[in-house]
Each structure stands twice: as structure tokens, then as C-alpha cells.
Structure 1
Amino acid sequence: MQSVSDASQHIVLSGCSGGGKSTLLVELARRGYETVAEPGRRIVEDELSGSGDALPWVDLAAFARRAIALARHDRAAHAAQYGPVFYDRSLIDAAAALEYATGEPAVRALGSRAQYHRQVFMAPPWPELFARDDARRHDLDSAVAEYQRLLSAYGSLGYQTILLPKISVSERADFVLSHLEQ
């Protein structure tokens, strides 16, 4: 077995909000893979039960900074794992949010230190799946704009973005796993 301190074992699921990433992560966990839940969702849950100062619809920059810290922690916490670890979003997603919120060149600065598998699996916009809830208050147009920023961010750092097809969650998991075997 190979230690995941090797970046090739840290696999990112990114893309459009409401595109099925978290559902895919659950399927990969069901199949026995190590998974890491989306930092943003965890932050929103924490903020909704607390002060609410770092919510993306209140203070996007504060939210993004918390997401950066949590994504760094997640990556470090799994450095000694063996076998693949699947992340629902990454440090690069958080850096892209901070760059969008503040104009700081966060993607280049933080992304160069973010080491993940060279292939990043991107969930494209899927209007039939997209739904607002307490943690996702933005609309589909905002989600699509974020998706475009993420495609650009990952591409600018040299990652190969692979679009997830709009198929069942089981088929999506098979798709991801077969790409990783190649």
C-alpha cells in the first residue's frame, strides 16, 4: 500500500454546488474508501448554531478564510492515511472563494501548496438536482458562476479536470474509480 502523503492518493471532487458531489462521496464511503466532507457545509452548520459571522451570504471572505483553515487541517489530518482519500472540495476551492471575495491572488498563493491527484473530478451544473436549503441559499446562476471560477482555478494550477457525467451515483463512482485505475 502507498501512503497518501503521496499527492496522487488525495482525490478531489469539486464543481457546481448542487451537482451531486456529496452524494458521490457517500457512495465512495459506502464502498470502503476514506472520505472527507465538504469544509463549507461543516462551517455553515457550525455558524448556524453559533454567531453566524462567517456564513457565505453574510461575510464571504470570513467564510473562505475558515474554509482554507479547515481544508488545510483536513489535508494534514489525512497525510498518514494509506490508500485513496476522496475530498468533497479542497483548499483550492476555498482559495478561489477568497480570491473572488477579496481580489487577493489566493489561488496561485495557496494552490501551489495544495497537493492533490492531478485529476480533479468536476460535477457540472445539474439543474434537476440543484436545490436550495438552509446551508445552500444561493441560486443556480451563482452556483454556475462559481463552477466556472473553479474550472479556471484548477486549470491554472495544471490540474486535469474531468467532468462527471450525469448518470446514477453508482455509475458515477464506477466512472471515478475507472479513471483512477488508468
Structure 2
Amino acid sequence: MSKCENRYIITGGPGSGKSSLLNALSAKGYQCFEEISRIIIQEQHQIGGDKVPWKNLAEFAGICFERMSKQLSDCTPTSNCFFDRGLPDIIAYVRRGGLTVPSEYFEKCKDYNKCIFLAPPWKEIFINDDERPESFEDALEISSFLRSTYQELGFTIVELPKGSINDRLLFIENYILTDKES
């Protein structure tokens, strides 16, 4: 198994069910890494900081890059690991914000499996909260940026079905099993 073969990204716009799916994968015993951007936003709220995407995108992205790089190194090389967002997400968000993407962001993107799972926008489950102030229209735009960024970087996008958390979990397990057998 190559060092990145077992590192799967689950991505998608805000409110598309990624975190719930990661929680289910974790409960089933998979090594899962929570969404770094959400943690940083929570930390910034607690200290009254401005390193959030809607105030200081460049610094926020830099912190995300450092912590997401650490997550990659924490992935056990012999088992499947799942990430709630990956480094290409930072590229998409930085581009959406009209900023220049640092070159090191692109290099690290090679450390994931080339197959990623995209949770599509899903209005019926979309909700806002303190860490997710975006509207559903924003979520649609972010999803579009994510899709085009992952495609440009050469990833194979596997769209998750709109279904129960368990249906999505089984979909991922079946896909990975089928992918490893081929």
C-alpha cells in the first residue's frame, strides 16, 4: 500500500452531511480526522480572534494548512483514514476569496488517495450555526469551487448519494472494497 492510497477525503459545501458521515465512520472503527477549519473557527470565537475565513482568509488558510498537514502525518499507514475536508479544500476557498494560493499547498495535495468523496449540496439537511454562517446559495457556490479544484488537481470525484448516513457509509465501504479489488 502506498503512503497515500489509504487517505480518503470527504468534501463538499457547508451543511452537506460530511461531519455526520465521518462520525459514523469513526464509530465503525475507522481512523477519522475532524474538520480543522471548524475547530479553528471555534477557537477564534473563544478568543475573539479574526483568523476566520470571512475576516482574514489568508491567515486562516495558513493555519488550516499547518494543521491539515499534521493530520496527514498522523494517519496510520496500514489502515484506511478519512478526512473531513482535505488540503485541496483550502485551495478552493482561497481561490473563491480571490487570493493567490501558496505553491506548497499544491504539493501536499499529492499525499491523498486520488479518489475523493463529494457530498453534494442538499437543501433538506442544510443548517447554519456559529461556525457555518454561509447561506445555502453560498454552499452551492463553494461546492462548485471544490468540484472544479479537485478536478483540476487530477482527483477522481465520487459523488455521495443523498441518503441516510448508513447508506453513505456503506456506499464508501463498497466503493473502497471494489476499488482495491480492481
Q: Which moved more, 1:59-68 or 1:143-152?
A: 59-68
The question of 1:110 aligning with 2:111 is answered no
Residue ranges of structure 2 left out of the alignment (5+ in a row): none
Partner of 2:35: 38
Partner of 1:11: 8
Name 1:68's counterpart in structure 2: 65
Show structure 1 runs of 4+ deviating over 6 A: none
Report the TM-score when normalising by structure 2. Answer: 0.91
Q: Contact 2:3/2:77 (CA < 8 Å) preserved in 1? A: no
Alignment of 1:7-156 (within 5 A): 7-78=4-75, 80-106=76-102, 109-114=104-109, 115-156=111-152
Q: Which residue of 2 aligns with 1:179?
A: 175
What's the Cα RMSD here?
Answer: 1.6
Displacement after TM superposition at 1:116 (Å)? 0.8
Cα distance in 1, alignment partners of residues 105 and 56 from structure 2: 20
User: Does the 8 Å contact 1:61/1:97 carry over to 2?
Assistant: no
Q: How far 1:117 sits from its partner (Å)? A: 1.0
- 1:138-174 deviation per Cα after TM superposition (whole angstroms, max 9, x unaligned): 1111111111011011101110001100010001000
Q: Is the 8 A contact 2:6 2:77 kept in 1?
A: no
User: How far does residue 30 in structure 1 lie from its aligned partner after superposition?
Assistant: 0.8
Q: 1:135 to 1:105 in 2, by over 3 A?
A: closer
Deviation of the 1:82 alpha carbon? 2.4
Tell me which of 150, 158, 163 is aligned to 1:162: 158
Q: Could you tell me how far 1:64 is from its partner in structure 2? A: 1.6
CA pair 44-66 structure 1, distance change in 2 beyond 3 A: same
Deviation at 1:39, TM superposition (A): 0.8
Query: 1:76 Cα deviation (Å)?
Result: 1.7
Identical-residue share of aligned pairs (%): 29
Aligned length: 177
Deviation of 1:102 after TM superposition, in Å, equals 4.1
Q: Residue 8 of structure 1: SS of its match in structure 2? A: coil
Gaps of 5+ in 1: none
